[in-house]
Chain A
Amino acid sequence: MGALAAAIAVGLGALGAGIGNGLIVSKTVEGVARQPELRGQLQTIMFIGIGLVEALPIIGVVIALMVM
């Protein structure tokens, strides 16, 4: 049961973060398509956002390891 709980925790965490990252990148692509000269700044902001979102599945992995 511990392995099952860990798998569910990691899977749901990765699902949510995947949707979130997709939204961030798609909006960044839209922004670059509208104003290509802002590409550098938008990429910086995008990486910060991705970094913030990535923390959640990573914490999910840590909790999953603790559960196992």
Chain B
Amino acid sequence: MEYGSPIIENVFGIPWLSVNLANVLMIIIASAIVFILSVLGARKLQMKPTGAQNVMEWLLDFVKGIVSDTMDWKTGKKFLPLAITLFTFILVANILGVITTIVYNEEVWWTSPTADPGVTLTLSSLVILLSHYYGIKLRGTNHYVKGYFTPVWYLFPIKLVEEFANTLTLGLRLFGNMFAGGVLLSLLVVLTTMNVWGFLGGAIPYLAWAGFSIFIGAIQAFIFTMLSMVYIAHKVNEES
């Protein structure tokens, strides 16, 4: 069962520019959920935390651990908001697609926004651009340019290729995991709704794979945040 996506092509008359409306909708929903949960968790802060504040503090400590694993805390603390935003957004976006999928007028409207290469490659390009920006800002242009020619000058082409490879693999890893998970889930739905034997054979694997997809979503959010911090630390750290 193949369903299309609500794509508007040739926006503003530009031939290569097209917008997937389902992605726009799902990004807004994911951002709204993250915003509301964070505001609820950070309201009425107390010295003896209860309930939602406990969860927020645990999340903050977890992401703080990710950042301080890769760089020292003095330079790392300005990246904590970026890291926690990336982690929570990707986690919620991954899980939204596992919960359900809504098809309206033969078009998929409710799915993971991270199951689209455009969204994930945008995120990874943003991270790589930020790493260049902070590399120049925190260490100066001389150090930044010299970084391309160390330890020996003829490694320059490889270092240049590395930047593009980092962008591609960072985005495509997230996209591929979410996309493959969604494809397998929809195949299992087709099997389960076929007939009685299909239901008996497909129900248990469907539950198992749905649970595993949530686990994969959390792991991928963790890996994306971790590798983003590794790439930024590679540019920002003094000794490298």
Q: Given A44-B69, A48-B223, A48-B227, are A54 and B173 also a contact pair (CB < 8 Å)? A: yes
In this complex, the member of B69, B223, B226, B227 whose beta carbon has the largest number of chain A beta carbons within 10 angstroms is B223
Q: Mark A41-60, 1 if CB is under 8 A from B, else 0.
A: 00010011001101100110
Interchain CB contact under 8 A, A58 and B226: no
**A61 contacts B by Cβ under 8 Å:** yes
**A33 contacts B by Cβ under 8 Å:** no
A-B contact count (CB 8 A): 36
Q: Given A44-B69, A48-B227, A61-B180, are A55 and B173 also a contact pair (CB < 8 Å)? A: yes
Nearest opposing residue in chain A for B224, CB measure: A51
For this complex, 7 residue pairs linking A to B, each with C-beta atoms less than 8 Å apart, are: A48-B223, A51-B220, A52-B169, A55-B169, A58-B176, A59-B176, A62-B172
Interchain CB contact under 8 A, B172 and A58: yes
Number of interface residues of B (CB under 8 A): 15
Interchain CB contact under 8 A, A47 and B180: no
In the complex, A62 Cα to B222 Cα: how many Å? Answer: 22
Interchain CB contact under 8 A, B176 and A62: yes
Nearest opposing residue in chain B for A51, CB measure: B223
Interchain CB contact under 8 A, A47 and B176: no
**B219 contacts A by Cβ under 8 Å:** yes
Q: Which residues of B contact A48 (CB under 8 A)?
A: 223, 226-227, 230
Instruction: Quote the shortest CB–CB distance from B164 to chain A (angstroms).
Output: 13
Q: Which residues of B contact A52 (CB under 8 A)?
A: 169
**B177 contacts A by Cβ under 8 Å:** yes
Interchain CB contact under 8 A, B177 and A58: yes
Chain B stretch 160-205: residues in CB contact (< 8 A) with chain A: 169, 172-173, 175-177, 180
In the complex, A44 Cα to B69 Cα: how many Å? Answer: 9
